Structure 1
Amino acid sequence: MDPSISLIFIIVAFSLGAVLVLKKDTIPTSMKRWLSIFAILMILFAFFIIIDSLLKLGT
Structure 2
Amino acid sequence: MDPMTSSIVFIIAAFSLGAVVVMKRDTLPPKMRRGLALVSIAMIAFAFFLIVYSLFTMGSDAT
Question: TM-score, length-normalised on structure 2?
Answer: 0.90
2:27 aligned residue: 26
Q: Distance in 2 between matches of 1:51 and 1:30?
A: 32
Q: Which runs of 5+ in 2 are unaligned?
A: none
2:59 aligned residue: 58
The share of aligned pairs that are identical, in percent, is 51
2:18 aligned residue: 17
Which is richer in helix? Answer: 1
State the number of aligned residues: 59
Offset of 1:58 from its aligned partner?
Answer: 1.8
Q: Which runs of 5+ in 1 are unaligned?
A: none
Larger radius of gyration: 2
Question: TM-score, length-normalised on structure 1?
Answer: 0.95
